[in-house]
Structure 1
Amino acid sequence: MMGNSSKLDNATLSLFMNVNASIAISVIYMIVTTINLVGNGLSMWILIFRTSPKTPSIIFMINLTLTDLALGAALPFQIAYQFQGYNWKLGAKMCSVMTLVFYTNMYCSVLTMMAIGIDRYLGIVWPLLFRQIRKRKSNAVISCILMWGLVLSVLYPLMTTDLTFDIPELNIITCFDVLKKDMLPNVTAWAAFLFSMVFVLFLFPFCVTTFCYISVIRKLAEDSKTTQKKRAIRLAFIVLLVFTLCFAPNNILLLTHTVLRLFYKKSIYMSYKLSLCFSCLNSCLDPFIYYFASKDFRHKLRQIINLQSLSSGDSMKMEQRETLYSAHCTFEGQEREHSKVSLVPKKTTA
């Protein structure tokens, strides 16, 4: 949102004065915060202390959990901001930090899910060709560092700009709800900033991730591994759900809103603000990705919540063993009874 205090559009002003919308957004953030901290706190404990060895997939999951926990720690500040009627009281630097955490979580999550998808693609579709590369933990660590570097370089303007905005007529100071046009030097810089966020950090990873999971499902369908195929389909469904429900609306509306505001003086800010809430839901869905992506994580989680750690196939084998053992005991018993009978002398008739 670009503008100054004397030229704020009616859509933005109505949002700031809409108490019901503010409460609804705050409630969503509170629910997300609770689920985020509980689910990702447990996930982080399992991934760090209970999962070994630390495979590249596990390292990617730790990176994803770290960004989710950072978001969970930042959301209470956003909740307080909403309850105070969009009045930010913590200063410009804190506003920049909170905004950076929001968008870093989104785009690091996008890139990390792409990395997990690529790792599964190489491991299932090309298991021999890339076996040595996938085993190196250093490759996963370097990939995570490059992800953070790329995201922070794109979001650099958010770190160097005062994102607070004084609205005297409402007696509030907003945080990243009204952006100044001079945040970037010209329209070309704004276009490059938005292109990098929407296309480089979202659309390209989304296409790569979709390709990887479709290829994995096709490969497993050819190999007729029913259980593994079902799990891969569930994982693909959850990942694509996170992209379409959490990331796509926010990025599409951000691009649309900015273009409308820059060139047509129109606004769809209310829709964009609500999409920002849904973008936080990814931190609640990520633990499900770990469950379907890591066999070790599933095993440890089942142990912790006292669920049966055997798979359905193992359970059937166990039942078959018990049935065979029972039949064997019965057969042995019958043999013993037969031997007893045979030892009794037969009576002869006169």
Structure 2
Amino acid sequence: MTGNSSKLHLDNATLSLFRDVNTSTVISVIYMLVTIINWVGNGLSMWLLLFRTSPKTPSIIFMINLTLTDLALGSALPFQIDYQLQGYNWRLGSNMCSFMTLVFYGNMYCSILTMMAIGIDRYLGIMKPMRFRKSKKRKSVAVISCLLMWGLVLGVLYPLMTTDLTYKVPELQITTCFDVLKLSMLPSVGAWAAFLFSMVFLLFLFPFCVTMFCYVSVIYKLSSDSKTVQKGRAIRLAVVVLLVFVLCFAPNNILLLAHSVLRLFYGKSLYMAYKLSLCFSCLNSCLDPFIYYFASKDFRQKLREIMNIQSLSSADSIRMENKETLYSG
């Protein structure tokens, strides 16, 4: 985001961003690739989760929620691609701009919270398996948790729903969408600080710390036990999840905080870097199916069984069921 006062003219750094055709083209190409992979990967995952996976454990419910958020982002990206290719010129009106922005950021933060929930579910399933499996309300808790996640995200992002996020740039004869924010969007600098604090610390840093704790604890627990193939696979999956969490979301939120502080208090900008980091954060939406499903040998076996590519022996089926019982929660 870039804060802007009621001045009639933008600074040179912001104008240079809007004139940079190469950056806009690179971002558009990345969004195109993400959209294609997103639709294919998450569409297949949703079909498998809804119609080929039973029972619906809490982990599966969280994965369905995560896949829904990814598909929502995939539906919004074509509008962002058109916006970029038109030279940052939004042609669909202020209401559509607010809605697409809400979908875009809602996906990011709901994905972060859902990944935290999956981490907690795995942590409880491995660290306290007996007490965890005796609970009869796990599915209800998972559904309520998903609803609370969305409620929290929408509550924090409420200013985006009630503000005109478009801005006419007379120098370039374009109308931007969320690339120039008026300081009048919020009543005071304190309100801006609370808004940014909620986004960066409540919706990113806290879930990040919880996710780190859960997966590091799981890795330590499994690595300290006798080593088996399935435990090694679980450890590798946890490491990959943490890496993607750090690489996709951390740069964007750190740059958001740094850019906002520099813009509000020092009149400087890191918006070019933030814009690129926001673009790469979308990669998570097409990596989720590979991390949670296709990286798993069990899921590949299920996929082959469904598509009649390879029949599973009874021994393979028994091993697969045992692994699912241990790690799917």
Instruction: Give the TM-score normalised by structure 1.
Output: 0.85
Which residue is equivalent to 1:242? 244
Q: Which amino acid aligns with 1:267?
A: S
Q: 1:165 is paired with a residue of what secondary structure?
A: strand
Q: 2:29 is paired with a residue of what secondary structure?
A: helix
CA positional deviation for 1:61: 0.2
Gaps of 5+ in 2: 320-329
Q: Which moved more, 1:131-140 or 1:72-81?
A: 131-140
Listed one character per residue, the Cα deviations across residues 286-336 of structure 1 (whole Å, up to 9, x for unaligned) are 00232278776444223345554659x949x9xxxxxxxxxxxxxxxxxxx
Matched, 1:265 2:267: yes
CA positional deviation for 1:10: 1.6
Say whether the 8 Å CA contact 2:222–2:235 is kept in structure 1: no
Which residue is equivalent to 1:252? 254
CA positional deviation for 1:42: 0.2
Cα RMSD after superposing both structures? 2.0
Which residue is equivalent to 2:40? 38
Partners in 1 of 2:69 and 2:136 — Cα distance? 23
Partners in 1 of 2:107 and 2:287 — Cα distance? 13
Q: 2:167 is paired with a residue of what secondary structure?
A: strand
Say whether the 8 Å CA contact 2:153–2:203 is kept in structure 1: yes
Distance 1:295 1:55, change over 3 A: farther
Partners in 2 of 1:132 and 1:9 — Cα distance? 61
Greater RCO (Cα-Cα under 8 Å, separation 6 or more): 2
Q: 2:82 is paired with a residue of what secondary structure?
A: helix
CA positional deviation for 1:11: 1.5
Distance 1:89 1:77, change over 3 A: same
Q: Which amino acid aligns with 2:27?
A: I
Which residue is equivalent to 1:106? 108
Q: Which amino acid aligns with 2:52?
A: R
> What is the 5 A alignment of 1:1-350?
1-3=2-4, 4=6, 6-133=8-135, 136-291=138-293, 297-304=299-306, 308=310, 314=316
Say whether the 8 Å CA contact 2:215–2:242 is kept in structure 1: no
Distance 1:57 1:166, change over 3 A: same
Distance 1:27 1:167, change over 3 A: same
CA positional deviation for 1:32: 0.3
Partners in 2 of 1:184 and 1:50 — Cα distance? 47
Count the aligned residue pairs.
Answer: 315
Which residue is equivalent to 1:337? none
Q: 1:101 is paired with a residue of what secondary structure?
A: helix
Distance 1:223 1:135, change over 3 A: farther
Say whether the 8 Å CA contact 1:46–1:300 is kept in structure 2: no
Q: Which amino acid aligns with 2:3?
A: M
Listed one character per residue, the Cα deviations across residues 212-231 of structure 1 (whole Å, up to 9, x for unaligned) are 11111121123214222222
Q: Which moved more, 1:80-89 or 1:283-292?
A: 283-292
Partners in 1 of 2:178 and 2:167 — Cα distance? 8
Say whether the 8 Å CA contact 1:232–1:292 is kept in structure 2: no
Q: Which moved more, 1:278-287 or 1:301-310?
A: 301-310
Q: Which amino acid aligns with 1:283?
A: S
CA positional deviation for 1:164: 0.3
Which residue is equivalent to 1:322? none
